[in-house]
Amino acid sequence: MKREIITTGDGSKTIHMPEWNEQYHSKHGALQEALHVFIEMGLKDTLSRKREHTIPISILEYGLGTGLNAMITAQFPTKFAINYTAVEAYPIVLSEAIEVNYGQLLGNQVLYEKLHQCEWERAVRLTDHFTIEKLEKKFDEINDESRFDIIYFDAFGPRVQPDLWTIEIFTAAYKALKKDGILTTYCAQGQARRNMQEAGFQIERLPGPPGKREMLRARKL
């Protein structure tokens, strides 16, 4: 499928797929969306409830994509070690990663290129506190149990890939989370929300990033 680089509303870039009229990140602002949905409403929420710094934070990302969410998480200042697992069925190539230019945007081109060039299927330590394991597989192959504190659910939207927003997918996500773990996503679609609830999640409707009225945070009680 054809992919092209576009500039979003906050000046950051993303990948656009004309055939689907879909982007890897919000056209209203790729960086703004990532910071709001995954850092503000995800990572910060979890860190605010943690007291024991010796226990690492475990994050699972559904859809590594451009690596933006992983990059801003790796750069987030925290005393906690972060173990980051990213699932991606169709990785982008390094030239696309360089073209979206998040390394320069975030002031660390070396780290961004390391993130994309590091080996798949094994844990790689990228910074003193951030370790990533990139897994090339589909969402329906995820079968972890009570392993993660946070899920960044950043799949393409249900308009173009409804099979990624099913009860079955969210049931596996629910199982993968630890008790009190959260799943955070930019999507606030009604059917997606109902599917999360059917899988067992308690849902919070939260203010969305620029260009979106709402987003969802789902909690495993």
pLDDT tens-digit series, residues 65-122? 999 999 999 999 999 999 999 999 999 999 999 999 999 999 999 999 999 999 999 9
Q: What is the pLDDT of residue 113?
A: 95
The CATH code of domain 28-219 reads 3.40.50.150
Compute how many other C-beta atoms are within 10 angstroms of the C-beta atom of residue 200: 17
Q: What is the pLDDT of residues 197-215, one digit of tens each?
A: 999 999 999 999 999 999 9
What is the spatial distance between Cα 210 and Cα 165, in angstroms, rounded to a whole number?
23
pLDDT band at 44 (very low <50, low <70, confident <90, very high): very high
What is the spatial distance between Cα 162 and Cα 114, in angstroms, rounded to a whole number?
32
On the question of pLDDT at 1 being above 90, the answer is no
Burial of 3 (0-12, 13-18, 19+ CB in 10 A): middle
CB hemisphere CA count around 60 (13 angstroms):
24
Average pLDDT over residues 61-66: 98
Average pLDDT over residues 44-73: 94
Strands 148-153 vs 202-207: parallel, antiparallel or unpaired: unpaired
Q: What is the pLDDT of residue 16?
A: 97
What is the spatial distance between Cα 48 and Cα 36, in angstroms, rounded to a whole number?
16
- Asked whether the beta carbons of 112 and 67 are under 8 A apart, the reply is yes
pTM for the full predicted model: 0.97
Q: What is the pLDDT of residues 121-143, one digit of tens each?
A: 999 999 999 999 999 999 999 99
